[in-house]
Amino acid sequence: MRVLASAPAKIILFGEHSVVYGKPAIAAAIDLRTYVWAEFNKNGRIRIEAKDIKIPGLTVSFSESEIYFETDYGKAAEVLSYVREAINLVLEEAGKQKGVTVSITSQIPVGAGLGSSAAVAVATIGAVSKLLGLELTKEEVAKLGHKTELLVQGASSGIDPTVSAIGGFLYYEKGTFEELPAIELPIVVGYTGSSGSTKELVAKVRRSFEEMPDIITPILNSMGKVVEKAKEVILADYDKEIKFQLLGQLMNINHGLLDALGVSTKSLSDLVYASREAGALGAKITGAGGGGCMYALAPGKQSEVATAIKIAGGMPMITKISREGLRIEEVEE
Ligand SMILES: Nc1ncnc2c1ncn2[C@@H]1O[C@H](COP(=O)(O)OP(=O)(O)OP(=O)(O)O)[C@@H](O)[C@H]1O
Ligand SMILES: C[C@@](O)(CCO)CC(=O)[O-]
Ligand SMILES: [Mg+2]
């Protein structure tokens, strides 16, 4: 039997980092996906084939605590830790020890703030649990995805695996979520081409928080208020024009606060300012920062903003919200 599952990338519209401190955040799944095939193998090991993680042809096997490098890359074990933990958690949940091979292909840039770690964990959990005959709900998959991120990163709010498993447009707070009404958001995502590690960026914010709690706490509180206000605007009965203008203003404030936390970079800020100058109503980092992506809200100006992002050295992507989260694509008996 073979199972193919897929899970989407996400953008965080408001509230990254502060969400790790129990504040709310707003995020949406987008139409880039990670695909995972899972099947049993006879040698009893966990075998992971990561087909496009920018380390070409990487293949590693694990058995108990032994690692078999089928290609000689020292960083392989660390790179594949999300997939490995996700498989182990599902095997534990099923109470089974079986040889499983997973094979991954992904459209999501890695370490770019678009939730590649959550999508790979959610798609792996979806595929392996189906293979083992476990009927997990999307909420249960999201919880295992959150556990996977906690095991690898040490800290995670759980927002990324929740959005990737459930899909759509969500308001998230401390492990619970609310679906927001579908509004069409004219956004452009700008990719700097460089990457940041969420584990390291979350640890960096934690260090600042511990060193200067009196200064960092009000920043995190303000971020929480920005998110609450953004939710209010999304739910309000305003004209689209007023809604977008207020949301843009809140995005710019959120970007400034993220910069104050030290998670922006020159390339990210260059794309943010280039977008605003090209007519975006708001622009901010999305995801953990330290490289990766920003997004701009640009009603009627999407192509101008995309061009400005390109001129400023970034890669523009015009994406849309994906209603669908985890999807079982194929089951071959
Ligand atoms: N296609 C993939 N195959 C295997 N592992 C992957 C794949 N995509 C991502 N990963 C894992 O996720 C890690 C990147 O996760 P990280 O959380 O640092 O960034 P991100 O999820 O892309 O961005 P963010 O968390 O800010 O949204 C990679 O180093 C790798 O361990
Ligand atoms: C930086 C962070 O807030 C978002 C990463 O997409 C981490 C998390 O919420 O787990
Ligand atoms: Mg991640």
Q: What is the pLDDT of residue 214?
A: 98
Q: What residues have CB less than 8 Å from 185, skipping those under 6 apart?
A: 13, 28, 297, 321
Expressed as residue numbers, the domain containing 254 is 187-317
- With a 6 Å cutoff on the Cβ, whether 156 touches ligand 2 is yes
Whether residue 291 has its Cβ less than 6 Å from ligand 1: no
- Give the domain-ending residue among 179, 196, 213: 179
Q: Residue 158 C-alpha to ligand 3 middle, in angstroms? A: 10
Q: Of all atoms in ligand 2, which is nearest to the CA of residue 160?
A: 6
Is 224 part of any domain? Answer: yes
Residues 131 and 30 placed together within one structural domain of the fold: yes
Atom of ligand 2 nearest to the CA of 263: 1
pLDDT in tens, 203-240: 999 999 999 999 999 999 999 999 999 999 999 999 99
Q: Which residue's CA is the closest to the ligand 1 atom numbered 5?
A: 80
Atom of ligand 1 nearest to the CA of 118: 21
Per-residue DSSP letters for 258-276?
Answer: HHHHT---HHHHHHHHHHH
Residue 331 lies in a domain: no
Ligand nearest to the CA of 114: 1
Q: Number of structural domains, the chain?
A: 2
The enclosing domain of 233 has a CATH number of 3.30.70.890
Does residue 79 fall inside a structural domain?
Answer: yes
What is the rounded average pLDDT of the residues 284-305?
Answer: 97
Is any atom of ligand 1 closer than 6 Å to the C-beta of 160? Answer: yes
Q: Is 44 annotated as a binding residue?
A: no
Please tell me if the CB atom of residue 198 comes closer than 6 angstroms to any atom of ligand 1: yes
Q: Does some domain include residue 322?
A: no
- Does residue 282 sit within a domain? yes
We report the CATH number of the domain holding residue 118 as: 3.30.230.10
Distance 71 CA to ligand 2 centre (A): 31
Q: Label the pairing between strands 100-106 and 46-50.
A: parallel
**pLDDT tens digits, 11-65:** 999 999 999 999 999 999 999 999 999 999 998 899 998 876 654 445 556 666 6
Over residues 103-118, the pLDDT tens digits come to 999 999 888 999 999 9
Using CB atoms within 10 A of its CB, is residue 199 exposed (0-12), middle (13-18) or buried (19+)? Answer: middle
Query: Is 192 domain-assigned?
Result: yes
pLDDT value of position 56? 41
Closest residue by CA, ligand 1 atom 24: 113
Q: What is the DSSP letter of 179?
A: E
Pair 41, 173 in one domain: yes
At residue 190, the 3 state secondary structure works out as strand
Looking at the fold, whether 157 and 193 belong to one and the same domain comes out as no
Among 179, 205, 229, the domain-final residue is: 179
Domain boundary among 134, 153, 179: 179
Look at residue 287 and tell me whether its pLDDT is greater than 70. Answer: yes
Of 285, 282, 273, 225, whose CA–CA distance to 248 is shortest? Answer: 282
pLDDT value of residue 183: 86
Q: Which amino acid is at 118?
A: A
Residues 65 and 166 both lie in one domain = yes
The catalytic residue positions are 160
Residues 119 and 210 in one domain: no
* Residues 27 and 110 both lie in one domain: yes
Give the global pTM. 0.93
Q: Is the same domain home to 171 and 191?
A: no
0.95 surpassed by complex ipTM: yes
**Quick one: 160 and 54 in the same domain?**
yes
Instruction: With respect to residue 138, please indicate whether it lies within any of the assigned structural domains.
Output: yes
Residues 97 and 242 occupy one common structural domain: no
Residue 115 known to bind ligand: yes
Decide: residue 327, CB within 10 A, 0-12 exposed, 13-18 middle, 19+ buried.
Answer: middle
- Do residues 327 and 29 make contact, with C-beta atoms less than 8 angstroms apart? no
Residues 164 and 273 in one domain: no
Does any ligand 1 atom lie closer than 6 A to the CB of residue 32? Answer: no
E strands, the chain, in order: 2-14, 25-40, 46-50, 58-63, 66-69, 100-106, 169-173, 176-179, 187-191, 282-286, 293-297, 315-317, 327-332
- What is the widest separation between alpha-carbon atoms in the chain? 61
Residues 138 and 7 both lie in one domain:
yes
Asked if residue 324 is part of any domain, the answer here is no
Whole-number mean pLDDT of the chain?
A: 93
- Both 240 and 125 in a single domain? no
Query: Which string of DSSP letters, residue by residue, matches 27-95?
Result: EEEEEEEEEEEEEE-SS-SEEEEESSSSSTTEEEEEETTEEEESS--TTHHHHTHHHHHHHHHHHHHHT
